[in-house]
Structure 1
């Protein structure tokens, strides 16, 4: 089985997602997309497989989103994809591909829905928020499992 993560090691959400994948016993293929970007057709296919609009994969925070006028609703998917390819930081992350689907994992625990293997133990995010308990079960909001 192959799990792939389009990863930015400078992003806490991406680091937490990678750690959750590894906590399931998988060693994923890690693609640092800022260094090794997907081809335009590959990015379009990933977004199609996620079943979300292209606009939902645009990152706004810490990017040239505003100065490029990408909030303009008249922009087409092709124009948005062109902007993402020209400014890779506009691609929101992490995107994870598993045999169970493709997902933009924001928040990081969204990856749990597409991991084929269960968690092997407790997991706590970098900020201290518990996600998985010692039995490998997801911890729901408010601490209830």
Structure 2
């Protein structure tokens, strides 16, 4: 199975998701999206294919979110996409694409929907255990 993760190594959720993918026996393509920002088309496709809205794909907890006035509910999806592309830290993470679909893996266990079954329990950085389904 092929997998791609849009990863931020400074994010615990992203690190746990990457480790879960590897625990499932897959060595994914790792794209550090802060260095290698997806194109507008790629980002829009990830959001669409994950079945979420653009506002769900933006990190409202980032300081830039408020600084740029992105909390304005009248902003269009295009304006939000523009902001995420200009400031990639605003892209929620991690997005994962496999042959089985796309997920915004928050929490990290959401990636299990698009992976083969885990071979054994997995222990996250915080000590939480993810059991095979």
* Larger Rg belongs to: 1
Which residues of structure 2 form unaligned runs of 5+? none
Q: Quote how far apart the aligned CAs of 1:60 are.
A: 1.8
Which residues of structure 1 form unaligned runs of 5+? 139-145
Q: Quote how far apart the aligned CAs of 1:61 are.
A: 1.9
Q: Deviations over 1:76-132 (max 9, x none)?
A: 0000000000100000000000111101000000000111x2112221110111112
Q: Deviations over 1:44-86 (max 9, x none)?
A: 1111111111000000223400111111110000000000001
Looking at structure 2, the residues matched to 75 and 62 of structure 1 have their Cα atoms a distance apart, in angstroms, of: 17
Find the counterpart in structure 2 of residue 142 from structure 1: none
RMSD: 0.9
Looking at structure 2, the residues matched to 118 and 131 of structure 1 have their Cα atoms a distance apart, in angstroms, of: 11
TM-score when normalising by structure 2: 0.96
TM-score when normalising by structure 1: 0.88
Find the counterpart in structure 1 of residue 6 from structure 2: 6
